[in-house]
Structure 1
Amino acid sequence: MTDDYRDHGPRRVGQVKEVTSLANPIVKDIKALSQKKTRDETRTFMAEGLKLVIDALELGWTIRTLIYSKAAKGKPLVEKIAAKTVASGGLVLEVSEKVMASITRRENPQMVAGVFDQRWMPLRDVKLSTGQTWIALDRVRDPGNLGTIIRTADAAGASGVMLLGDCTDPFSMETVRATMGSMFALPLVKATVAEFLAWKASSGAQVVATHLAGAIDYRTVDYRRKPVVLMMGNEQSGLPEELARQADVLARIPQSGRADSLNLAIATGVMLFEARRDLLKLDEPT
């Protein structure tokens, strides 16, 4: 990141900076967030869309930079989040549509985007209680799958998502888009397999894993007696034996067609809504 963005941003508090040039160093720094290396170094990421930015601010995420196109200027909600950004010490950029398209890498870009601090929950801080359901993903590699799983976990009332081993970055633009804002509502945890297994030993969780060798129909598992961690394997190779052996239940989703497997996000959704079926009934209208 250039010094202009990293070191001098706080000095612009209270200002709205107009930017029309793609060569602007702040624009270059924001565009660099498309690279994982830059996201890791700065511990920031970008989210696109007015709804996502509003969701993030309402849930207490720290915004570093708000970017909006000239077409959004004067809109009440945009003015409101601009004021919130300034009040929290962030920078507000009013940019041309050309700059917004370049930042978001879209021909028809959203009118609003925000740069936020990343947020991770340490594994040691995950304390389980009855009725909670977590998802643990082993080496998930597809950004769309991860984003869809996070969105589905939010919809089902899950408590959080754990990323085990070498997973795709949840703060990539593709994943953030696929979550549709749900990533701001759920804690994310990253851990090695060894760290996860050490945590599991004293967590009090029932770990239910899907596996080709699973002998138990997923619909017959008792998900109510303990907090549940649903453990799902890599898109290509599934769960490694090291993790499969440590699961309390190896379950399977019966299939009758020619397909020999389900998409990871679909399979996770099927498992998740079954695990939370009795709990979700509590929220049904009477």
Structure 2
Amino acid sequence: NLFPNSEIRVVHPKVIASICGSRENQGIAIEIDVNIRKLDDIKIENESVLILLDRIQDVGNIGNIIRTSEFFGCSGVILTKSETPNITPATIKSSAGAFFHIPVVRERSAKIINFLRERGLKTYSFDVRGKTSIFDIKFEKPSVLCFGGEEKGISEEILRSSDAIIKIPQFGKVNSLNVASTVGVSLGIYIFQMKKQYPS
């Protein structure tokens, strides 16, 4: 028995669907306490790259971004408290387990900005209003890559604290990317550039 002190109950499939927040599930659920980390739990080293999510409301997108961030070896994912939901079972499910392998923090914007400044991270915000193409920027490390919600984008407070505001050039007719796709593209280019600048 992996959980000797737990209570096991057999319930109707509708109850499982209610717990999981979806009819698409494996027919089993477990109730656990989720440990939301603090900013100081994030270990900042010279190689560190963090992901900052501001005003992103879709829990599925947040979960996918956590998964992508862990895959690329990010040191943590930070969510602003303003207009960003709490971590939910749907978020954890969308992360495909990555949530348990990377610090995920939810904090006020002002406190986040102070934390990043004190630790000397370069702040790169990705926004359609950006003047610099991602193909022209020379990233420095340690870094934080910031992304905003698809409706409102990144707040002015975070944009003002950024070292650079970057855009991903559009080549097709659709005028924007899903934010989870934007994070994946941006992290891939960032890691590729870092590997070229600092080959191990």
TM-score range relative to shorter protein: 0.7 to 0.9
Structure 2 partner of 1:264: 179
Q: Could you tell me whether the CA contact under 8 Å between 1:128 and 1:204 is conserved in 2?
A: no
Matches within 5 A, 1:40-55: none
- Structure 1 residues 211-220 or 143-152, which shifts more? 211-220
Please give the alpha-carbon distance, in whole angstroms, between the structure 1 residues aligned to 2:85 and 2:21. 20
Structure 2 partner of 1:91: 6
Q: Could you tell me whether the CA contact under 8 Å between 1:214 and 1:252 is conserved in 2?
A: yes
- Identity across the alignment (%): 30
Q: How many residues align?
A: 194
CA drift at 1:173: 2.6
1:120-156 CA distances to partner (integer Å, 9 max, x unpaired)? Answer: 2211343411211110000110011111111111111
Q: Could you tell me whether the CA contact under 8 Å between 1:156 and 1:280 is conserved in 2?
A: no
Q: Could you tell me whether the CA contact under 8 Å between 1:133 and 1:276 is conserved in 2?
A: no
Please give the alpha-carbon distance, in whole angstroms, between the structure 2 residues aligned to 1:108 and 1:195. 38
Structure 2 partner of 1:192: 108
Partner SS, residue 141 of structure 2? coil
Please give the alpha-carbon distance, in whole angstroms, between the structure 1 residues aligned to 2:55 and 2:45. 26
Structure 2 partner of 1:153: 69
CA drift at 1:109: 4.0
Structure 1 partner of 2:60: 144
Which residue, 146, 162, 165 being the options, matches 1:247? Answer: 162
Counterpart amino acid of residue 84 in structure 1: L
For the structure 1 residues 113 and 199, does the alpha-carbon distance in structure 2 shift closer, same or farther, using more than 3 Å as the test?
same
Structure 2 partner of 1:234: 149
Please give the alpha-carbon distance, in whole angstroms, between the structure 2 residues aligned to 1:256 and 1:278. 21
Partner SS, residue 114 of structure 1? coil
Matches within 5 A, 1:1-286: 83-86=1-4, 90-98=5-13, 99-101=15-17, 103-104=19-20, 106-107=22-23, 109-164=25-80, 165-170=82-87, 172-223=88-139, 225-278=140-193
What 5-or-longer segments of structure 2 have no aligned partner? none
Counterpart amino acid of residue 270 in structure 1: V
Q: TM-score, normalised by structure 1?
A: 0.62
Partner SS, residue 251 of structure 1? strand
Q: Which structure shows the bigger proportion of residues in strand conformation?
A: 1
Please give the alpha-carbon distance, in whole angstroms, between the structure 2 residues aligned to 1:268 and 1:279. 16
What is the alpha-carbon root mean square deviation over aligned residues? 2.1
CA drift at 1:212: 2.2
- Which of structure 1's runs of 4+ aligned residues deviate more than 6 A? none
Q: TM-score, normalised by structure 2?
A: 0.87
Please give the alpha-carbon distance, in whole angstroms, between the structure 1 residues aligned to 2:24 and 2:151. 34
Higher alpha-carbon Rg: 1
1:142-200 CA distances to partner (integer Å, 9 max, x unpaired)? Answer: 01111111111111111110001231222x23212211111111111111111112112
Q: Which structure shows the bigger proportion of residues in helix conformation?
A: 1
Q: Could you tell me whether the CA contact under 8 Å between 1:130 and 1:227 is conserved in 2?
A: yes
User: Bigger relative contact order, structure 1 or 2, given CA contacts below 8 A and separation 6+?
Assistant: 2
For the structure 1 residues 100 and 262, does the alpha-carbon distance in structure 2 shift closer, same or farther, using more than 3 Å as the test?
closer
For the structure 1 residues 180 and 127, does the alpha-carbon distance in structure 2 shift closer, same or farther, using more than 3 Å as the test?
closer
